[in-house]
A and B are shown apart, each in its own frame.
Chain A
Amino acid sequence: MNSLKRKDLLDIQSLSVEEILLICTSAKYFKEIFTRTVKSVPVLRGKTVCTLFYEPSTRTKLSFDLAAKRLSANLINFSVNTSSVVKGESLIDTVHTLEAMKLDYIVMRHAASMAPHFLSRNIQASVINAGDGFHAHPTQALLDTYSIMEMRKDIAGLHIGIIGDIKHSRVARSDIEAFKKLGAKVTLCGPPTLVPDDFSLYGVDISYNLDELLSELDVINLLRIQKERQKGSMFPSLREYHRQFALTEERFRKCKSDVIVMHPGPVNRGIEIDDSVMESDRSIIQEQVTNGVAVRMAIFYLLAGAAPLEDMPEERDTADDDN
């Protein structure tokens, strides 16, 4: 199998274990390209990738842009400035416009859950979900999975803690689904207002006490706290949140010596994590960013159903790509 037998990558739920592992294996190959002087391959030559971001994003969009360029794709950006108040063209009209442009891939980020699913049902292009509402962020979960597999061969049997605002996190949902599919034990930790009981349907444990949990964890995945959640009384103050759930230097000392510390970024230093922990050798936060590009290259490649990787020539000249 050297391709994903599917049009779209919308969520982790619909991926099989084999597909997840295939993406990770291919990502390893693409990461090796980064050590070459010419960091691109002609996998997507002549194909057009369109990024359609309805929500501001810096790192995810940059990562997709870079992945597409390193695969020699033609890249266009459809940036949409929307607020919840002012909505311009309706999504279905945008979809019709994009369909008429005969694109090959659409990378979509949207504040509304299920928007990429709606898009995919109405367009022939491959749709890659770059994050929808609180629902799913499959490429983040795949890069998190790959990053852990780089450090430990097997995810099965690892105890992974996801700490923070689970309720409003698409990263958490996709991570949970990926880690559980690969056989990890997952514990969610945060205040009950941010870790609803309904999450137990994923077969995870729930804890409200980080101090009791820490010493058991092989992986600690910290989520970004949205400061505006405090206004909805999800927690009383950032100070109290930090006291209860931050990975402080003191707590870090109680962790296993080979613990892996992760964060999808951007990090609120001093809220979720202390500076010194972030900069320790157990933190792979920087490596996650590098891996993100490799994983997204692998996803483009596998959705294209392209030739075996061994036969891939190095890209020499991309100057005439725009024709």
Chain B
Amino acid sequence: MMIIKNGRVIDPASRTDDRLDVRIENDAIADVSRAISARKGDRVIDASGCIVLPGLIDMHVHFREPGREDVETIYSGSKVAAKSGFTTVCTLPNTNPVIDNQALVRFIRLEAEKGPINVFPIATVSKGRKGEEISEMGELINAGAVGFTDDGLPVMSSILMRRALEYSRMFDVPIIAHAEDLELSEEGIMNEGKNSTLLGLKGIPKESEEVMIARDVILTRLTGGRLHVAHVSSGGSVEIIRRAKEDGIRVTCETAPHYFSLTDDAVAEYLSMAKMKPPLRTEEDRRAVVEGLRNGIIDVIATDHAPHSLNEKMQELEYAPFGIIGLETAVPLIITVLVRANGFSFNNAFEKLTVNPARILKFDRGELKPGKAADITIINPDKKIVVNDEFILSKCKNSPFIGMELYGSVEYTLCGGNLVYARA
């Protein structure tokens, strides 16, 4: 049995924010109350100065397996996730081969059993991720898929998107949209605007994202399906989603920590380490994303953890692949940017990584109360970390945050009652 003592328990689902102890029996939470006394043989974790949260959920990671095990595997990614405070992640299906059949969904779950945390596969929305025919959603759900997306690519075909939203209604699962009009993006590599003009780099207008979100919420209204918009990066996108929610359309969305932390000013300095899709936008967009998170228009923070080898990233900016790693910097950026710089309460910040993604994906997780799985993350929000080579456990170090000093140190991660990470 284990007891977490002297911590500040934050449970966004019940808006709890109080000095409480937590008792864990086997794999479940047994008690959350004041001054629980330890029995003989209990293991005690001292959480003084720390916040005690439901285990964090990241509904958007790329673990590259199968296909690119040299840059990350389900096992290595799970270890990184545990170290970063995550007890549940969803893997995206743009691997090689793509996750579009039951066997591969089962393969991911099998590999995940070797690792310390819960891994739920998301499968492709189209067969072969070709954007032509919808995938066998029923079969994939039976095998363990929890959502559908062709992420990395949009569903360019409007009729296919309509069918996917329509067909998935009988399972009540989200269709996750990588919202991008590839024609408007052309061959762009960074946000279209002042910086792309100065640097002579081909731009991706924010409208490339916004027109697709507009299309998809309209199709969601038509079909009554459930839409989840991945990695929202622009103020216009937040506004379209706000209006859709007000109209009662079943849409949710996520953003990634880099969109509330950086702007396209970073591209000149960090070159390919600041190259991702959607691209970093302007300060105005960054502020709109922060406000969208504050007022709940943006439901979820997900990392879009996208490992690429240094070999691939150390190329001409135009040839380097899109994407950065994100698991390890997620908690420090949330604490530093949202809590410290923008005055978010812990509840408001961390609902985006606990109860909100759990509700979207219908997970019986993300809450810290008796009877729930003992997935718990303990963070010291006042302790500084430095993002350097030693700090980064991920197989790849493609991050624009390297060298930065941030607040928020993950001290312990428990998954199903097991201590899966303790900071050395």
Q: Are B194 and A134 in contact (CB under 8 A)?
A: no
Q: Are A110 and B316 also in contact (CB < 8 A) when A117-B271, A198-B193 are?
A: yes
Interface size on A, residues (CB 8 A): 24
- For chain B, residues 229 to 288, give those with C-beta under 8 angstroms from any C-beta of chain A: 268, 271
CA distance A114 to B315 in the complex (A): 11
- For chain B, residues 191 to 212, give those with C-beta under 8 angstroms from any C-beta of chain A: 192-194, 196-202
| A36-44, A85-93, A237-245: which lies at the interface | A85-93
The verdict on A173 contacting chain B, using a C-beta distance below 8 Å, is yes
Q: Are B199 and A112 in contact (CB under 8 A)?
A: no
Q: Are A199 and B197 also in contact (CB < 8 A) when A92-B314, A110-B316 are?
A: yes
Q: Are A114 and B199 in contact (CB under 8 A)?
A: yes
The verdict on A136 contacting chain B, using a C-beta distance below 8 Å, is yes
Cross-chain contact of B197 among A110, A117, A170, A196 (Cβ < 8 A): A196
CB-CB under 8 A from A296, the residues of chain B are none
- For chain A, residues 105 to 133, give those with C-beta under 8 angstroms from any C-beta of chain B: 110-115, 117-118, 132-133
Q: Are A114 and B201 in contact (CB under 8 A)?
A: yes
CB-CB under 8 A from A115, the residues of chain B are 316-317
Distance from B306 Cβ to chain A, minimum over Cβ atoms (Å)? 20
Q: DSSP class of B's interface residues: helix, strand, loop or mixed?
A: loop
Cross-chain contact of B200 among A87, A91, A173 (Cβ < 8 A): A173
Q: Which of B192, B199, B200 has its CB near the most chain A CB atoms (within 10 A)?
A: B200
Cross-chain contact of A118 among B194, B197, B311, B317 (Cβ < 8 A): B317
CB-CB under 8 A from B316, the residues of chain A are 91, 110, 112, 114-115, 118
CB-CB under 8 A from A118, the residues of chain B are 271, 316-317
Closest Cβ neighbor of A13 among chain B residues: B198
Q: Are B197 and A198 in contact (CB under 8 A)?
A: yes
Interface size on B, residues (CB 8 A): 19
Distance from A113 Cβ to chain B, minimum over Cβ atoms (Å)? 4
Q: Are A113 and B201 also in contact (CB < 8 A) when A90-B315, A92-B314 are?
A: yes
CB-CB under 8 A from B193, the residues of chain A are 198
CA distance A173 to B193 in the complex (A): 15
CA distance A113 to B2 in the complex (A): 56
CB-CB under 8 A from B317, the residues of chain A are 112-115, 118
The verdict on A1 contacting chain B, using a C-beta distance below 8 Å, is no
Q: Are A135 and B194 in contact (CB under 8 A)?
A: no
CA distance A173 to B201 in the complex (A): 12
Distance from A32 Cβ to chain B, minimum over Cβ atoms (Å)? 35
Distance from B161 Cβ to chain A, minimum over Cβ atoms (Å)? 26
Distance from B407 Cβ to chain A, minimum over Cβ atoms (Å)? 29
The verdict on B318 contacting chain A, using a C-beta distance below 8 Å, is yes
The verdict on A100 contacting chain B, using a C-beta distance below 8 Å, is no
CA distance A135 to B198 in the complex (A): 7
Distance from B51 Cβ to chain A, minimum over Cβ atoms (Å)? 40
Distance from B327 Cβ to chain A, minimum over Cβ atoms (Å)? 26
CA distance A198 to B196 in the complex (A): 9
Cross-chain contact of B199 among A91, A110, A135, A199 (Cβ < 8 A): A135
Closest Cβ neighbor of A170 among chain B residues: B200
CA distance A246 to B198 in the complex (A): 26
CB-CB under 8 A from A312, the residues of chain B are none
CA distance A136 to B192 in the complex (A): 18
Distance from B123 Cβ to chain A, minimum over Cβ atoms (Å)? 32
CB-CB under 8 A from B271, the residues of chain A are 114, 117-118
Cross-chain contact of A201 among B198, B200, B201 (Cβ < 8 A): B198
Cross-chain contact of A133 among B192, B197, B198, B318 (Cβ < 8 A): B318
The verdict on B107 contacting chain A, using a C-beta distance below 8 Å, is no
CB-CB under 8 A from B196, the residues of chain A are 198
CA distance A118 to B316 in the complex (A): 7
CA distance A113 to B268 in the complex (A): 11
| Chain B 293-333 per-residue mask, 1 if CB under 8 angstroms from chain A, else 0 | 00000000000000000010011111100000000000000
CB-CB under 8 A from A92, the residues of chain B are 311, 314-315
CA distance A115 to B314 in the complex (A): 11
Distance from B300 Cβ to chain A, minimum over Cβ atoms (Å)? 32
CB-CB under 8 A from A87, the residues of chain B are 319
Cross-chain contact of B318 among A112, A196, A198, A199 (Cβ < 8 A): A112
Q: Which of B199, B314, B318, B319 has its CB near the most chain A CB atoms (within 10 A)?
A: B199
CB-CB under 8 A from B200, the residues of chain A are 113, 132-136, 170, 173
Distance from A110 Cβ to chain B, minimum over Cβ atoms (Å)? 7
CA distance A115 to B311 in the complex (A): 15
Distance from A175 Cβ to chain B, minimum over Cβ atoms (Å)? 13
CB-CB under 8 A from A199, the residues of chain B are 197
- For chain B, residues 177 to 221, give those with C-beta under 8 angstroms from any C-beta of chain A: 192-194, 196-202
CB-CB under 8 A from A90, the residues of chain B are 311, 314-315
Q: Are A113 and B315 in contact (CB under 8 A)?
A: no
CB-CB under 8 A from A136, the residues of chain B are 200
CA distance A90 to B268 in the complex (A): 21
Q: Are B199 and A113 in contact (CB under 8 A)?
A: yes
Q: Are B201 and A135 in contact (CB under 8 A)?
A: yes
Instruction: List 13 contacting pairs A-B, 8 Å CB cutoff, sorted by A.
Output: A87-B319, A91-B315, A91-B316, A110-B316, A112-B318, A113-B199, A113-B200, A133-B318, A134-B201, A134-B202, A135-B200, A135-B201, A198-B197
The 3 closest A-B pairs by CB, nearest first: A135-B200, A134-B200, A112-B316
For the complex with contacts A92-B311, A92-B315, A173-B200, 14 further pairs of A-B residues with Cβ separation under 8 Å are A91-B315, A110-B316, A112-B317, A113-B317, A113-B318, A114-B199, A114-B317, A118-B271, A133-B201, A134-B201, A198-B196, A201-B194, A201-B197, A201-B198
